[in-house]
A and B are shown apart, each in its own frame.
Chain A
Amino acid sequence: MEQNNKTTTTTTHNIGIYLWIWGLLFVFSTFSYLVDWYNLQGYLRWSLIIFFMLIKAGLIMAIFMHLYWERWAIVNVLLWPMTAIGVFIGIMALESEYTFLTRALFFVMGG
């Protein structure tokens, strides 16, 4: 198996791209902090939080973790399992709403 270890790509990228991404991460972190600073509420707050979070996560994974330059085989193996997490989030969101409902009913009506 020794031979396979030598097939890695050792091409390096221009320093500029790392500095750019670094700067962008600072900017987007500031934006997400400003969401709290200006005390935005409701759907605007939640959508902005998720938007900035996904951009930051995407930049870190694509550039800092070099996933953008990897072959599709490993990219797909790593990203498809995330859909299971998405399904799990959906299931548990329903579950928590149901639990809240039964609790509210119990506290109001006394069971």
Chain B
Amino acid sequence: MSEIDISKLPKGGKGFMHDFADDQTVFKGVPWGKAMMWIFLLSDTFIFSCFLISLMTARGSTTAEWPFPSEVFGLTMFGVQVPLLLIAIMTFVLITSSGTMALAVKYGYERNRKMCGWLILATAIGGLTFVGMQAFEWSKLIFHDGVRPWSNPFGAAQFGSFFFMITGFHGTHVSIGVIFLFIFARKTFRGDFDTGRRGYFTSMKSDYKAIEILGLYWHFVDLVWVFIFAFFYLW
């Protein structure tokens, strides 16, 4: 069977009709791993959407005053009350790690093993920093402010459960991503993607495409944070 040259296929709307009317693969030029990652991310989008829609419903329907996130998450630096300081830094750290990941994917496809490896490592360290700051944020809210899933000193009781659920679920995603980033940094430096060494779990040949798939997951984590930042912290 000959390889499909997707540059010869019709593009845009015609390409859409062509690909869906085809009797073979629909997602042409997309490795199956990438298609599966996208479909997983789509389902994950629905999960996070349900969390944020629940937040909207609870916040819109409670008659109690909703805590003002700007003050709850504010920090006092040198005697000045700075709103959302830690959250802003966390946002920038996550965007930075998203940028290094995008470059890692680029260098991966250019088969630049060392640059790719260092950038994946930088991404992992960025993610680790994010999780560390989130741990600080949680411990401050739990031990210092006394926020619980059922009550808090700031206002509407639902605030705590939504905070722990939404940021906790996102933090879990970041943590899992960090673990995979460290594994992939090791695989890259060892040259697995150049030699096509078989993976430990899947026993499939390693390929630089896997870095793009990991990158999709990592960018998604950043993408979700954009929405959490907007709807939970800024709204």
Contact = CB atoms under 8 A, between A and B. Distances in A.
A binds B: yes
Contacts of B4: 4, 7
A25 B227 contact: no
Nearest to A3: B1
Contacts of A57: 223, 226-227
B60 A32 contact: no
B61 A15 contact: no
Contacts of A97: 60-61
Interface string B16-40: 1001100011111111101100100
Contact of B32 (A5, A72, A100): A5
A22 interface: yes
Interface string B62-88: 110000001000000000000110001
A93 B223 contact: no
A53 B91 CA distance: 12
Interface string B180-222: 0000000000000000000000000000110010011001101
A81 B42 CA distance: 8
Contacts of B1: 3
B70 A61 contact: no
B135 interface: no
Nearest to A46: B235
B102 A22 contact: yes
Shortest Cβ-Cβ A-B pairs, 7 listed: A96-B60, A99-B61, A22-B99, A73-B19, A72-B16, A53-B230, A96-B61
Given A37-B83, A93-B57, 8 more contacts: A29-B88, A29-B95, A32-B230, A53-B230, A64-B102, A96-B56, A96-B58, A97-B60
